[in-house]
Amino acid sequence: MKLTNNKTKSLKLSKQALGTLNKVISMVEEDTYCPEVIQQIESVIGMLNSAKKEMLMGHLDNCLEERLKQDKNKTIQELLKIFQLSI
C-alpha cells in the first residue's frame, strides 16, 4: 500500500511528536524547569496540529470525492464532526 504525500507527512510529524512527547515525559520525571517542559509540550501540540491538518488536506484532496459518491449524507456528517473537533 502506497501512502499519499499528505499521509506520509502526517506520519512523519506524528513520529516527531511522539519522540518529543517521550522527551517531555523524561523531563517531568527528571524535574526539569517547568517553562522548558511547557515549551516542549507546545512543540508536541504544534506537530500534532500540523499532522491533523495534513490528514484533513489529504482527505479533501484524495478521499472526499469518492466518499461523497458512496454516501453523501454520511460524508457530510463526518466532515462536520472533523471541523467541530478542530474548533
Alpha-carbon distances of 15 from 20, 29, 72, rounded to whole Å: 9, 21, 33
pLDDT of residue 85: 79
Domain count within the chain = 1
Residue ranges making up the domain that contains 80:
5-86
Q: CATH number, domain at 35?
A: 1.20.58
Q: What pLDDT does 29 receive? A: 98
Look up the pTM and report it: 0.85
Position 65 scores a pLDDT of: 86
pLDDT of residue 19: 98
Burial class (CB in 10 A: 0-12, 13-18, 19+), 70: exposed
CA dihedral sign of residues 22, 24, 25, 29: positive
Residues of the chain under the 70 pLDDT cut? 87
